[in-house]
Structure formats: C-alpha cells, structure tokens
Structure 1
C-alpha cells in the first residue's frame, strides 16, 4: 500500500482558544447520530481525536469493548491521556498517526469515526477509503462535518460576515473544504460505500444562553488574533493584522448583544461496510 501523508494544514491549530472549544465536545453533543449503533463489546477507532473528550465519552458506551483515539499531533494526546486517567477509563488508548495511512490491518474495527476532520484534509475521499479499509465487513464508518456557509447567527453585527468570508478563503488556502457538511455523503459514495448503505442526517450546535454566547464569542475573538489562523491569514496575505483586529472586535461586539444566537450546522453519515 502506498504510504500517503497529510498535506493540508489544520486551519485552527492547537492554540488554547481552539482546545477550549474541543474540550467542550462530548459523545452526546457531537456524536448523537452514532450512539444508537453502539453495542457494549465493540471496538472503535476515533480519528482526529484531539484532546479526547468525545473518545473518553464513547468508551462508556462500549464497556466490554475498546476504543482507540488517533491524532496526528502527538502533543495534544497528553491532555487526552490525562483526561482518561482523571475519569478512570481503562478500555481506551491513544496513538499518534496519519489518517491517510492507518497502521492497522483490514477489518480491525467495528466502528471507525471522525468528527470535523474531513473538512481539514487534502483528500477526504482517500481518508474515508482508509477508514473503510480498517472497518470490518458489516461495520460502520461514521463522520460528522460542519458547513461554514450554513452557519446562522443573530443579530447581524458588522464584521461577522467578513469573518466567515475570511475563514472560507483561509480554509481552502490550507487545502481543506469548509463546507464539508453538505458533501460528506457524496465523498462516502466515492470512497466505495453503496448508496443503500449510507444514512445521511444533520444536526446543530446552538449557542443561546448568556454563558454560551460569552464562551463562543470569546474563544473566536481570541482565536482570530492569537491562533495559527492569524499567522496563516497574514502570511498568506489574506488579511492584515488590522483586519484581524477588526474581526475580533466584531465577535466581541456580537457577544455583547442581548439577543445573540448562533447555530452551527453539521452533515453526518453512517456508512455500512457491506463487502
């Protein structure tokens, strides 16, 4: 097998503001579409697990099975392993690896899942093919991807649309596809899954309470100026430092609005490996 490696760049990076967002994620708020398909003895591979909060949660759904969290950036796994120890979860391990070339034999896992990974890779169909390869016959490949052009917010504070426009440009500059949510079912077909074996759905994150709004606006305001998003935008001449400052201020202003509300749309697929 040809050994491929990832050539796209993760647009968000792993700044503290990004990891705050990732550690909020749970199996219930980020993988609810998959939960009805889990049974206690299953083996699961979670691709792009990051700090491991979804992975650790999923472990509780397979108490007699095992889950492996795989992450390309090994440094983040320190946090994942610390969480595992804190939660006293034993049916879990974390490994460093590239989803383009998984170090597992064909048919190793009952479930292979990823969350907001395919939108950041150069070859999402190729990654899905690898996920399919290491899933057993009769097993499941599952993916959930956000769709940036479908994000909705209120009120329409000046500068917020500029943020989305910049994000779309930057994500594609890095080699990704920010509107992956609407495409993931088509990618699954190209990866070899039969139409009848693909179940598509969608779901959202919705931020509406004062606490949620403050958290969401605050982490994005910080991310715009302090994460690798900022460096890429400036180095790629997609925006100036002044542009980033203005966009960060827009996020802060939006977060101060009494009626602020934000919805993040995701496309999801459950793909059954039939042969």
Structure 2
C-alpha cells in the first residue's frame, strides 16, 4: 500500500445541493462506456463514490459479484447505504477511505472505477497507479472526468464566462485540474496503463430542466447570471467528459 493521503480540496464541496445533483447520476448516464466490460461475477471498487447512486446501479450488473463504494468523506455514505436498502441491493458495501492510499492488497478487484474524481486530486497519475495496484492482472481500470475548458452554453451570457474563469482559478488553487478530460489518456500512460480505450460523452442540460479568489459580490453576480440563464427558454449547456478503459497487463 502507498502511504499517501490526498492533498487537493474537493472544489464543489459536499453541500446538500451538490449531493442532490450527484444523486441524478446512474450507471447508464455516467458509466455506459464501462458496462459492456462487466461480467456477473466481477468484484468492483467504485472510487470516490459520493452518495452511491452509480455504485448501487453497478451492483445490479454483477449479481454474482460485489461492489465496494469508497468515499473520503464518510458522512456522505449514509445515502448510498439507504439507497441500497431501499432497492434491495445486497451485494454492495460503502466504506470510508483514501484513494491515494488504499488499504486493499494487490490484485483485489476485477474493476476499479473513478467517476469525476481525477479532476479534483493533486496527483491523478499517483491515484491511477494505486487503482492499477489493487486491480488484478487482466482487470480493468476505468475513469470518466469532465473537461471544463470544453463546456459550451447558450445564450452566451458574459457572466458565465466569468464563472468559468473563476472556476479554473479556484480549481487550480485547490491543487486540482479542471480540464482533466483532455489529459486522461496521458495520465493513464504515465501510470503504467498504456493499453487503453478512450471515448467522450456529454451530459446536456437545458434551463427548463435544471453553477479569497472571489468576494461575496462576485459570487452573487455569478449566481444571478446562472438564474438568468435558467429562465431563458432557449438555455442549453453541454458538459463533455473523457472516458478511459485500461487493461492491466502486468
């Protein structure tokens, strides 16, 4: 096990509004690229699982296997446990832990998956190495991360560009990489995972269906812009995420 703890700060935080947003995520809309590789007997680690909606979904794809959802902030895990109980999914567990220093032995899992995690860590290559360590030879390391620099929206309100500039600054101040999507394949190669498949998918939202570096006035102005965007009948935003499926060769 690597004796190391995460250095970056989770930029979004764990406010109830953030968790509600994350609870919208499912295996179908957030891990579809991984599903064709799953087999009923597999043992999966979902790294940085948050409220566990993807985790519980993944467990239904491996009915003879098991899924572990791991999250650094233990308080969040209660939501995953409650969801599993509500849906009667029993081949899943939720544990508190650090993705940069996993307590599992080498080769423990068939699949190690991280969704929207690498963009928030100070050493994404190190985390991928740790993911590789705990997966079996021939097993899968998979990840999906957004690329904030590739977001596109309509209408092009000036305040939204200001929000993006601020988010990029805050993310890097926190030790993270907001444009992780475009770097995923390079990080995988540096982590010793040269055999990979890369893809890109996007979430699309419309306003009718559903954002000491800034002061209070700056944040209030940005909040007002997002509300203005949401109220526009033509509001639209696309959030592209890069995906990698890596096979551990040795």
State the TM-score, normalized to the length of structure 1.
Answer: 0.90
Offset from partner CA, 1:104-123 (integer Å, 9 cap, x none)? 01000000000000000010
Show the counterpart of 2:133. Answer: 133
Please state whether the residue corresponding to 1:183 is helix, strand or coil.
helix
Query: 1:39: which partner in 2?
Result: 39
Among 240, 258, 261, which residue is 2:215 paired with? 240
1:201-238 alpha-carbon deviations (Å, 9 max, x no partner): 0000011372x2xx2xxxx3xxxxxxxxxxxxxxxx21
Q: Which has the higher contact order (CA 8 A, sep 6+)?
A: 1
The two structures, once aligned, show a CA RMSD in angstroms of: 0.9
Gaps of 5+ in 1: 221-236
> CA separation in 2, counterparts of 1:94 and 1:104?
14
Equivalent residue, structure 1, for 2:65: 65
**CA offset at residue 16 of structure 1?**
1.1
Is 1:21 matched up with 2:38? Answer: no
Instruction: Give the 3-state SS of the residue equivalent to 1:177 in structure 2.
Output: coil
Aligned to 2:205: 207
What CA distance in whole angstroms lies between the structure 1 residues aligned with 2:149 and 2:125? Answer: 21
Q: Which residue of structure 1 lines up, in the alignment, with residue 240 of structure 2? A: 265
| 1:24-44 deviation digits (Å, cap 9, x = unpaired) | 000000000000000111000
> 1:9 is paired with a residue of what secondary structure?
coil
Q: 1:77: which partner in 2?
A: 77
Instruction: Confirm or deny: 8 A CA contact 2:207 2:233 kept in the other structure.
Output: no
User: Within 5 A, what are the aligned runs for 1:105-184?
Assistant: 105-184=105-184
Aligned-pair distance for 1:100? 0.4
**What TM-score, normalized by structure 2, do the two folds share?**
0.98
Aligned counterpart, 2:193: 193
Unaligned 5+ residue runs, structure 2? none
Q: Deviations over 1:93-138 (max 9, x none)?
A: 0110000010101000000000000000010000000000000000
Cα distance in 2, alignment partners of residues 125 and 158 from structure 1 = 35
CA distance in 2 between counterparts of 1:64 and 1:75 reads 28
- Using the alignment, how far apart are the partners of 2:81 and 2:2 within structure 1? 31
2 CA distance for matches of 1:108 and 1:70?
Answer: 14
* Deviation digits for residues 134-157 of structure 1 (CA, Å, limit 9, x no counterpart): 000000000000000100000112
Task: Pick the aligned partner of 2:230 from 234, 252, 255.
Answer: 255
How far is the alpha carbon of 1:20 from its aligned partner?
Answer: 1.1
Aligned residues: 250
**Partner residue in 2 for 1:99:** 99
Contact 2:40 2:63 in 1 (8 A): yes
